[in-house]
Amino acid sequence: MAVLPNKLPDLRTLDEEALVIGRIRAGDRKAVATLYQWYGTLIYRRVILPRLPNIELAEDVLKDTFRIALERIHQYEQRGHSIYSWLRRIAINRTIDVHRARGRRQRLLDRIENEPHLIMPTKPPAPDRVPEQSETREMVHRSLDNLNPRYAQALRLRLLEDRDRVDCARALGVSISTFDVILHRACKAFRKAYPP
């Protein structure tokens, strides 16, 4: 990743932004570089790094922020606000996702270190457990089939396929915040439906 300059840029006028956004939508790669030059440092230093003080992770979040923005640039509407606000929201959501994933990973590592017998049993599971696992898997899938299809899809994407919130929201064609609501409701519905 290129070294970011020390000076933080000022926000651009809405007209300047509109021209660059139009060029990006038309496939102009130089316009993408212009947008990054305007707001990359600002997003990195004022939004990502204070929330995620690990430089490697922060740089990854910055890359993801601009990748997601470019993938969704056709959905962006200016509505009298700078694109900086939109980029900032994407960066915050990605930072939260990374922070949570890092926390889950650390909790798992701590548990492995402190309670190895819970994670790594001393003997392999008995062969007669295979039917039990198959039954459980089948009950989970039957319960999912009894749910609202959208709820079932949200649970499959997030929990069974272990995809991040951004991918799940994209797959459902909704915003991340809407996906979070769907997932919350799906979990409540699943608790009522399981076991079938």
1 against 155, higher pLDDT: 155
Dist. CA 21–CA 55, nearest whole Å: 29
Same fold, 14-101 and 124-193: no
* pLDDT tens profile 10-21: 568 888 889 999
60 CB neighbour count, 10 Å cutoff: 16
0.75 surpassed by pTM: no
What tens digit of pLDDT does each residue of 65-93 get? 999 999 999 999 888 888 999 999 999 99
Say how many CA atoms lie within 13 Å of 176 toward its Cβ.
Answer: 16
Residue 6: pLDDT band (50, 70, 90) is very low
pLDDT in tens, 143-176: 888 889 999 999 889 888 888 888 999 999 999 8
CATH number of the domain located at residue range(s) 124-193 in this protein: 1.10.10.10
CATH tag for 14-101 (out of 1.10.3260.10, 3.30.300.20, 1.10.1240.10, 1.10.1740.10): 1.10.1740.10
Could you state, in order of their start, the residue ranges of all structural domains in the chain?
14-101, 124-193
pLDDT-derived band at 127, boundaries 50, 70, 90? low
Model confidence band, residue 128 (pLDDT cutoffs 50, 70, 90):
low
Amino acid identity at 114: N
Residue 26 in tokens: 């038309």
**Residue 43 · residue 4 · CB < 8 Å:** no
Residue type, 149: P
User: How far apart are alpha carbons 88 and 51 in whole angstroms?
Assistant: 12
Mean pLDDT value across residues 107-114: 76
Q: Which residues contact 111 (CB under 8 A, 6 or more apart)?
A: 118, 119
Residue 1's pLDDT is what?
Answer: 45
Q: Which of 160, 128, 146 is nearest to 190 (CA)?
A: 146
